Structure 1
């Protein structure tokens, strides 16, 4: 059999997939495209210089092992790095970089053009002509990279955030979209990027604003002051714009149009845009397609619930910052029982410290159990895709493997569609994430399943009963 770039890389992927975490494989290897094979040299295309650097720093050994297995000891790896300079030209730039395991070499520098723009920023939210004020960044200095604990659940987002903070507007991650459920650190990470930019580039104008505040400001500018142009000009002069909870633009047609103009001006001039959302762009509703397409220009990084090891590190870091020593068994107990998000972990620590101080009690396992029990009871339980699949499988008396299988038997297809429907309805997971967890389907399959369930619920009494029964089992 003649080896091609595609067959060699496919074999490499099989080996790599068995030796790293699923999250790591999906994030760093699925986007790679094999380009060509010449002798013992395989060329692969990666989406950015940062992507190449991350692979070389973290996965070079496993890449070498995989290549040697397929091509022998003389195997070489070349990177075809696609750098899209979106604000000057849409033609991809290619920088071919040998893998450092064979020929150490620094990546070529790519210089991005910039426009000379006045540094004076006029704030439209003060009375014109009376005063000029320096733009306040609205950043929280406590939200920094030092206390944002890295783990498999957030590694892509944190790494991309660091890259953006070190070179705002100069990476392919523009915009950088950070999305995920409640309490997973989206706002923290967005602030951390801004804080580091201000520290490294004091002359840059950085602004953090919530989408609700942005909508309010736009309304005031248009309705009260009739200065829409001043509003646009103000935002278009920002170097690094951070907008939190961008999903709240949903249905705000005129505000979306204003943000569209601001985004275009910033992006074309090499300014950095950072967005946070509780859902991926593909799952956003009532937002214009032209705006959604721009959200997809850069990188969308999902923050997921932290794993056990990361939860331990979060707790230890928080206790260290507070100057509090807590027995290891107490930390482990909290990490094992509070799994949903970072905010809940920190809430338990705050309660633990308060109870100990006010009631003069030691940090004991008994005290931790009391606090965790009360906290869990008072916290709305979040339903996971995994839990929904188990409930649906049990209801239809089929096993999980059958639910996720490729069989087209009617009752199993309907069960699978119901699992997808309730996952979209009750969780913060993206359509792509839901599909991946329910038999490795794509987001289009999940969307079709949801529409099918809506149609059958309206026309089929038996199917409507399925929906009602499962709804009751998933309610808390």
Structure 2
């Protein structure tokens, strides 16, 4: 590993070789926080957080992670929540998003069920609110969040939040919410620098058992005015899968020339890629697009939606919210649950695992030749 980089992992991602291998395969399928996360010196403060979640009462609360798309803030938040839950040996975790919190709070107010709503949330030992900035300019939900934050912090519950920007820089938040979030630890996450991208690339190449020439590695992680760089972990992983397909199909080594061919074509538009995943999965399982995006809970449809979710997380950098929007405007929490459930099914069902691998190969081939 390159000097200065370090990893964070849940207990389930460490241990014996066999359990680690199982975790790695599940992480590849889901793209969830079960996979160890690698950070570079540009995000060195993250190293301190692993010990913080093991303290009886965290020294900093709330924990607020800020950063642009692809910096890993949601994956880091999920991992720290998992670590805290393992330490406390609790399953009493409340996970939501800013948009879902706003909808639930508004519904509780409209249906006169505020007491039940507050009781359900108030018992949580750990709270995760992803994309909190989506609460901006929502006066009633923001007031409710301020009250819930007071309750959680009095109770000693760890609150973990992700946002695009620092609370004080996020337009539309109330002063009360800003002050409570800012009283904890706000951690701006930066995109990986070149040395960290090199470490990420080495990690993914080893995991996929791929050999890249030195020139190919340098070409993939460099940043120049004339060459697009793969600046996030997700984009590097995606590029490596495409290179693996090109190498296998054309029986060529992964060298600088092959990387240049990929760079010349650029990566496909993400929305187009997501639509291609949905269409390909529907055709493979012989179901209509309307059924796949609809409300029916038949087992085969639920399974197919799960396959779409984990392929989207594996092959693109799309967020849970973006995937949910494409799958019939499903909310972030539903997609997150689907991502976790499909991992269990893939792990238990060899036939489903074969379907998934076939679809992955088909989709990477389609993207390379588009």
The reply to whether TM is greater than 0.5 is yes
CA deviation profile, 1:393-448 (whole Å, cap 9, x unmatched)? xxxxxxxxxxxxxxxxxxxxxxxxxxxxxxxxxxxxxxxxxxxxxxxxxxxxxxxx
Match of 1:334 among 184, 205, 220: 220
- Over 3 Å counting, the alpha-carbon distance change for 1:194 and 1:354 in structure 2 is farther
The answer for the alignment partner of 2:135 in structure 1 is: 249
Match of 1:143 among 33, 47, 71: 33
What count of residue pairs does the alignment treat as equivalent?
Answer: 238
8 Å Cα contact 2:197-2:231 kept in structure 1: no
Q: Is 1:267–2:125 an aligned residue pair? A: no
Higher relative contact order (CA 8 A, sep 6+): 2
The answer for the alignment partner of 2:44 in structure 1 is: 155
Q: TM-score, normalised by structure 2?
A: 0.59
Structure with the largest fraction of helix: 2
The answer for the alignment partner of 2:235 in structure 1 is: 344
Return the offset for 1:307.
Answer: 1.3
8 Å Cα contact 2:52-2:58 kept in structure 1: yes
CA distance in 2, matches of 1:359, 1:232: 59
CA distance in 2, matches of 1:234, 1:160: 31
Return the offset for 1:321.
Answer: 2.6
CA distance in 2, matches of 1:321, 1:195: 23
CA distance in 1, matches of 2:231, 2:135: 27
8 Å Cα contact 2:201-2:236 kept in structure 1: yes
Return the offset for 1:247.
Answer: 0.9
Q: 1:56-95 to 2 correspondence within 5 Å?
A: none
Return the offset for 1:295.
Answer: 0.7
CA distance in 2, matches of 1:236, 1:351: 46
8 Å Cα contact 1:207-1:240 kept in structure 2: yes
- Over 3 Å counting, the alpha-carbon distance change for 1:330 and 1:222 in structure 2 is same
Q: TM-score, normalised by structure 1?
A: 0.46
The answer for the alignment partner of 1:189 in structure 2 is: 76
Return the offset for 1:163.
Answer: 2.8
CA deviation profile, 1:268-310 (whole Å, cap 9, x unmatched)? 1111001111101121111110110001111111111211111
Match of 2:87 among 200, 210, 213: 200
CA distance in 1, matches of 2:243, 2:190: 25
SS in 1 for 2:66: strand
Match of 2:183 among 291, 297, 313: 297
Return the offset for 1:253.
Answer: 0.9
Return the offset for 1:147.
Answer: 2.6
SS in 2 for 1:171: coil
Structure 2 gaps, min length 5: 5-29, 224-228, 271-370
Q: 1:231-250 to 2 correspondence within 5 Å?
A: 231-250=117-136
- Over 3 Å counting, the alpha-carbon distance change for 1:280 and 1:308 in structure 2 is same
Return the offset for 1:347.
Answer: 2.5
Q: Is 1:369–2:260 an aligned residue pair? A: yes
8 Å Cα contact 1:305-1:339 kept in structure 2: no
8 Å Cα contact 2:128-2:161 kept in structure 1: yes
Q: Is 1:174–2:174 an aligned residue pair? A: no
8 Å Cα contact 2:71-2:189 kept in structure 1: yes
- Over 3 Å counting, the alpha-carbon distance change for 1:309 and 1:231 in structure 2 is same
Match of 1:209 among 71, 88, 96: 96
CA distance in 1, matches of 2:205, 2:32: 15
CA distance in 1, matches of 2:148, 2:200: 37
For the aligned residue pairs, the C-alpha RMSD in angstroms reads 2.6
CA distance in 2, matches of 1:170, 1:373: 52
8 Å Cα contact 2:247-2:253 kept in structure 1: yes
- Over 3 Å counting, the alpha-carbon distance change for 1:211 and 1:350 in structure 2 is farther
SS in 1 for 2:222: helix
CA deviation profile, 1:96-127 (whole Å, cap 9, x unmatched)? xxxxxxxxxxxxxxxxxxxxxxxxxxxxxxxx
Return the offset for 1:361.
Answer: 4.2
The answer for the alignment partner of 2:173 in structure 1 is: 287
Return the offset for 1:378.
Answer: 5.7
Return the offset for 1:141.
Answer: 8.2
Return the offset for 1:177.
Answer: 0.7
Q: Is 1:276–2:165 an aligned residue pair? A: no
8 Å Cα contact 1:176-1:275 kept in structure 2: yes
Return the offset for 1:255.
Answer: 0.8
Higher CA-based Rg: 1
CA distance in 2, matches of 1:311, 1:354: 21
